[in-house]
Amino acid sequence: MHLTGRNRRVLRWVSVGLAGGIALALALTVVLVLLNRTDQPQERLSAVVTATAYNSVPQQTDGDPNVAAWGDRLKPGMKVIAVSRDLLNKGLTRGVNVKIEGLSGTYKVLDKMHSRWTDKIDIYMGKDIEAAKEWGRQQVTIYWDKPKPKTKTQ
């Protein structure tokens, strides 16, 4: 195909316009990312709670011992805690990651306890009843990040 001088100029304008549009779209994306970014560190919260342990066994539940209160399926080896319902109001809601003083790793809130308990967590220990008994009842400090406020797009 042979392009005339006029057709070459039109093709060049289209190419320049297309490149400019792509550059503008990229620039707008960067601006939007920067506007949504927060350079402020998240606020770290803590609480002193009573920590006990529980297992996936029929004697310790009213229903399926492998299903937590929000419907999550528990499997031995998972680092999961149940929280007393008063802690839900402090931001310890489903899916929040928690550090427990004296234990390695991060535990995820995937279960909640009966409303009779306050300031209490229950550490999931799979089917290892002896480990749960050995843990017993301890006072520990737990740490978690304050939840970010939900935006309209979330």
Same domain, 28 and 90: no
Return the DSSP state at 27.
H
Tell me which of 154 and 25 has the higher pLDDT: 25
- Residue-range definition of the domain harbouring residue 19: 1-37
DSSP string computed for 78-121: --EEEE-HHHHTTT--TT-EEEETTS-S-EEEEEE--TT--SEE
Q: Is 124 helix (H, G, I), strand (E, B) or coil?
A: strand
Contact status, residue 53 vs residue 131, Cβ threshold 8 Å: yes
Same domain, 53 and 103: yes
Same domain, 54 and 130: yes
Model confidence at 66, pLDDT cuts 50, 70, 90, reads confident
Give the H or E element holding residue 42. Answer: none
Residue range 62-66: average pLDDT?
82
Same domain, 77 and 10: no
Same domain, 73 and 11: no
Same domain, 51 and 20: no
Model confidence at 33, pLDDT cuts 50, 70, 90, reads low
Same domain, 115 and 132: yes
* Apex 114 CA angle, 77 and 120, nearest 5: 65
Q: What percent of the chain has pLDDT over 90?
A: 57
- State how far the alpha carbon of 23 is from the alpha carbons of 6, 87, 141, in Å: 26, 48, 50
Count of domains forming the chain? 2
> Is there a domain that residue 6 lies in?
yes
> Is there a domain that residue 150 lies in?
no
CATH code for the domain of 66: 2.40.40.10
> Does 104 have pLDDT greater than 70?
yes
Q: What percent of the chain has pLDDT over 70?
A: 71
* Apex 62 CA angle, 59 and 67, nearest 5: 95
In residues, how long is the chain? 154
| pTM confidence score | 0.69
> Is there a domain that residue 152 lies in?
no
Residue range 36-42: average pLDDT?
60
Residue range 49-67: average pLDDT?
88
